[in-house]
Chain A
Amino acid sequence: MTQAMYAATKGTPPNKAMAIELRDVNKWFGSYHALKNVSLSVPQGQRIVICGPSGSGKSTMIRCVNHLEEHQSGEIIVNGKAVTEDLRKIDEVRSNVGMVFQHFNLFPHLTVLENCTLAPVWVRKMPRSAAEELARHYLERVRISEKANSYPGQLSGGQQQRAAIARALCMSPKIMLFDEPTSALDPEMVKEVLETMVSLASEGMTMLCVTHEMGFAREVADRVVFMDRGEIVETNTPHQFFANPRSERARQFLAQILK
């Protein structure tokens, strides 16, 4: 994209209906150009699946949305707020954006219930009893309420990931980011996590999901974003993307994962 266009988009006010807007985002790790002019608009309630070969910048992109990674140029606007250096603003953005990680990242020294109540109590300043009620509600929803007083180490991978989803939901986020949520799971546990995500999608949550679960993409995604070598190569409906990808790179990628 040219400098002129970059300048043109820079000043435009954030679109209120957009949950996430990325405008010409660039990111370098040292001298490695990890994201190249990435632009993406996600309206409220839309479900986006991001796929692409390993090292293509999928995770980096969604990690930029809640500033786990810092972008060096371009704009990221989340719920109408620009993600910048300002720590207070970042925490405000983060508390409205839930994130689910590949390796769950539950806090091993706390019970599942304590994992869920920690942020509501210390970030939202919720009374403990209210936070526990909320946590039990979401643990019920991801169907592991009987594990509330267990420690993460006592749970199976699938249960841990569902607990992690409940933990994110306890902050009542407007947006959920999923960074390869099923990649570290044993095959028989993938389904229970995907089912949880499908039910979340059916309730109108805005979702950005890095995944290779093409069945999930077909079922719930409004759009599939295909990335390769740090750029968005193709954005398409799931049906079109799987049946008839427009780009050669997407065709090659699909040929490799769908034998």
Chain B
Amino acid sequence: MTDQSMHSPIVSALIPAMAPPADIRPGPVTWMKKNLFSTPSSCALTIGFVLLAAWLLHHFLSFAIFNAVWSGGREACRASGEGACWPFIAEKFDYLRYGAYPVSERWRVDLAELLGAVLVAWLLWTKAPQRKLAALLFFLVYPVASFVLVRGVASLGLPVIDTTLWGGLLITLLMSIVGIVFSLPIGIILALGRRSELPFIKAVCVTFIEVVRGVPFITVLFMANFMMPLFVPEYLTPDRLLRPLIAIALFSSAYMAEVVRAGLQAIPKGQYEAANALGISYFNMMRLIVLPQALTIVIPSIVSTFIGLFKDTTLVAIVGIADFLKAVETARVDPNWAGPTISSTGYLYAGLVYWGFCFSMSRYSQSMERQLARGHKS
């Protein structure tokens, strides 16, 4: 230490805080300068990407909107031959939603979907009152109600509609909701089992997870559909729609288990010790302390798995179930509508529908993350 610093003056007044200088003050111009145009190469990249985006957007919009045929019939579409043929979607709209479900009974599907949408919204809207009641209705009452409505119970005056007639978006939604609702709880149980200290439980869970993850989903579907009837007597064979439903729930639960396990591993040992030291039982410790934290951490991966599952439902077409994409495929080759833009329009519509569902799941999970992070951020 030099002599000077030994005798430096004592600062007694506090230095007042000052506003930052103009060029680092946050604002759109400083942001753009810093992030878009900081160096010549970043200028070039920015301009290049803006041009590319404009070009892509122009093509998309001119096909989907500006050059598209909005009214008229198949003749108008054939005559135009440049843009999307929306009258085709309008005519096939009901078929894409319900498949071959009898027209006179389609209100039952509408009602079931409406009920489901209301309950899901109630459940997902975190500020809604009585969410426990919503959960109860959704998980216990709704499955029975929608089964009665969509499949029908003759004694209640609702004729039974065979599942071979079901199709379109109805199948896609059914598959995904069943998959999502079952895969998370089964996945949690498998993940906890995999970390169990009891060797038998651990072995069962590890075997299940590794076997299911090691087999392609299509194989699982084939096995469910074609092999099961060979081994199981006919009166015990589940319905042809139920088999892929079970397959998809079990298949995604194996993936879910690994996602949940990642979350469990992120919880420090101290949390378990604190819970143990308070005499809290294993079940309550998991339910109240460990899982809420673990699941919050892995929300992005859980939703990724849900999105993957939603799109994987298209694979059931392989075992002859007419899901939404299969319905688009069937509608597209209708000879009455043969035309140059019909296929593109069909696929564009399918893409938009899938994207809409997946994107809303993704946005919801992001808002959830923000909400939960706000709770206990330092």
Contact = CB atoms under 8 A, between A and B. Distances in A.
A171 B280 contact: no
Interface string B261-303: 0000000101101101111110010001100110010000000
Interface stretch (A148-156, A209-217, A244-252): A148-156
B375 interface: yes
A152 to B, nearest CB: 7
Top 10 nearest A-B pairs (CB, nearest first) are A95-B279, A153-B378, A105-B274, A105-B270, A119-B278, A99-B277, A94-B279, A151-B376, A91-B279, A123-B279
A97 interface: yes
Interface of A: 66-68, 91-92, 94-95, 97-99, 101, 103, 105-109, 118-119, 122-123, 151-154, 164, 167-168, 171
Contacts of A168: 277-278
B278 A123 contact: yes
29 contacts: A66-B276, A66-B277, A68-B277, A94-B276, A95-B278, A95-B279, A97-B277, A99-B273, A99-B274, A101-B273, A103-B270, A105-B268, A105-B274, A107-B271, A107-B274, A107-B293, A109-B292, A109-B293, A109-B375, A119-B278, A122-B288, A123-B279, A123-B280, A151-B376, A152-B376, A153-B377, A164-B274, A168-B278, A171-B278
Given A109-B293, A109-B296, A118 B377 contact: no
Given A152-B376, A153-B378, A101 B270 contact: yes
A108 B293 contact: yes
Contacts of A94: 276-279
Interface string B347-378: 00000000000000000000000001001111
B198 to A, nearest CB: 13
B279 A101 contact: no
A105 B375 contact: no
Contacts of A103: 270
Contact of A153 (B278, B288, B296, B376): B376
B280 A105 contact: no
A67 B292 CA distance: 25
Contacts of B276: 66-68, 94
A97 B276 CA distance: 11
A242 to B, nearest CB: 31
A95 B278 CA distance: 5
Interface in B292-330: 292-293, 296
A122 B284 contact: yes
B92 to A, nearest CB: 48
B279 A108 contact: no
A153 B292 CA distance: 16
Contacts of B378: 153-154
B376 to A, nearest CB: 4
Contacts of A107: 271, 274, 289, 293
B289 to A, nearest CB: 6
A161 B159 CA distance: 65
Interface in B156-194: none
- Interface extent on B, as a size class? 20 to 34
A123 B284 CA distance: 9
Contacts of A108: 293, 376
A97 B271 CA distance: 17
A92 B376 contact: no
Nearest to B290: A107
B270 A118 contact: no
Contacts of A164: 274
A101 B270 CA distance: 8
Nearest to B270: A105
Contacts of B296: 109
Given A103-B270, A107-B271, A122 B293 contact: no
Contact of B279 (A92, A152, A153): A92
Given A107-B274, A151-B377, A153-B378, 10 more contacts: A66-B277, A91-B281, A94-B276, A99-B274, A109-B372, A123-B278, A151-B376, A167-B278, A168-B277, A171-B278
Contacts of A171: 278-279
Contacts of B277: 66, 68, 94, 97-99, 101, 168
A119 B280 CA distance: 6
Contacts of A95: 278-279
A103 B271 CA distance: 10
Given A103-B270, A105-B274, A118 B280 contact: yes
B279 A106 contact: no
Most chain B CB within a 10 A radius of its CB, from A67, A107, A154, A168: A107
A14 to B, nearest CB: 20
A119 B377 CA distance: 23
Interface in B109-156: none
Most chain A CB within a 10 A radius of its CB, from B296, B372, B375, B376: B376
A69 B296 CA distance: 29
A257 B122 CA distance: 61
Contacts of A68: 273, 276-277
A79 to B, nearest CB: 13
B274 A101 contact: yes
Contacts of A97: 277
B32 to A, nearest CB: 34
A29 to B, nearest CB: 15
B281 to A, nearest CB: 7
Nearest to B278: A119
A97 B274 CA distance: 12
A101 B271 CA distance: 11
A140 B293 CA distance: 28
Nearest to B375: A151
A198 B372 CA distance: 37
Most chain A CB within a 10 A radius of its CB, from B271, B273, B277: B277
Nearest to A164: B274
Contacts of A118: 278, 280, 288-289
